């Protein structure tokens, strides 16, 4: 009887431990407050500097989304962005992702002004790709909710540029 209860206790302990390990592993993921609603499955970097470092290290382009909480255009874009599966998947797998509610000191990120929403791409050689623009000539790097296919094309363009140039 003693052996039986020891075995049962060991098995119970193993079960509890592995559940605990899984719980701890789940906790390890960075808290997704950094997503700010742009996509909770995406791993977001916290700062522009961290984004540049990760882009160079991983050889992935950095995508920088400038936005403000109280901007209705940003909110509308965020909703379309978060609901688009293809964008979410590419952002998760192929890009270093950063969303910012403040301007950086890098003037290259605001070639035609500091408006929001604004999406810019930086390649792994740390060059801001001012040549990847949206549809609007007055605000080159803005996108509207109906422009998601256009944004997808630009994301693919940012990925293609790496293959061809580096």
27: helix, strand or coil: helix
Question: What are the pLDDT tens digits along the chain (166 aa)?
Answer: 665 666 665 655 555 555 555 555 554 544 457 999 999 999 999 999 999 999 999 999 999 999 999 999 999 999 999 999 999 999 999 999 999 999 999 999 999 999 999 999 999 999 999 999 999 999 999 999 999 999 999 999 999 988 765 5
Provide the residue ranges of all domains of the chain, joining segments of one domain with +. Answer: 33-159
The fourth-level CATH superfamily of domain 33-159 is Glutaredoxin (3.40.30.10)
From the number of C-beta atoms within 10 Å of its C-beta (0-12, 13-18, 19+), residue 66 rates as: buried
CA-to-CA separations, 70 to 36, 116, 120, 123, in angstroms, rounded: 13, 11, 21, 30
Angle between helices 148-165 and 85-94 (to 10 degrees): 30
Mode of pairing for the β-strands spanning 96-100 and 62-66: parallel
């Amino acid at each position: 009887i003693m052996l039986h209860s020891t075995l049962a206790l060991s098995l119970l302990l193993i079960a509890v431990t592995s559940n605990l390990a899984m719980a701890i592993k789940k906790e390890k993921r960075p808290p997704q407050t950094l997503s700010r609603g742009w996509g909770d499955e995406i791993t977001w970097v916290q700062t522009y500097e961290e984004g540049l470092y990760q882009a160079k290290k991983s050889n992935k382009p950095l995508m920088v989304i400038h936005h403000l909480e109280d901007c209705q255009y940003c909110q509308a874009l965020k909703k379309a962005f978060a609901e688009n599966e293809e964008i979410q998947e590419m952002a998760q797998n192929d890009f270093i992702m950063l969303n910012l509610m403040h301007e950086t000191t890098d003037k290259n990120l605001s070639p035609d002004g500091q408006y929001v929403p604004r999406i810019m791409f930086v390649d792994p050689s740390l060059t801001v790709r001012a040549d990847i623009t949206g549809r609007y000539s007055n605000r080159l790097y803005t996108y509207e909710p109906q422009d998601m296919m256009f944004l997808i094309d630009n994301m693919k363009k940012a990925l293609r540029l790496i293959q061809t140039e580096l």
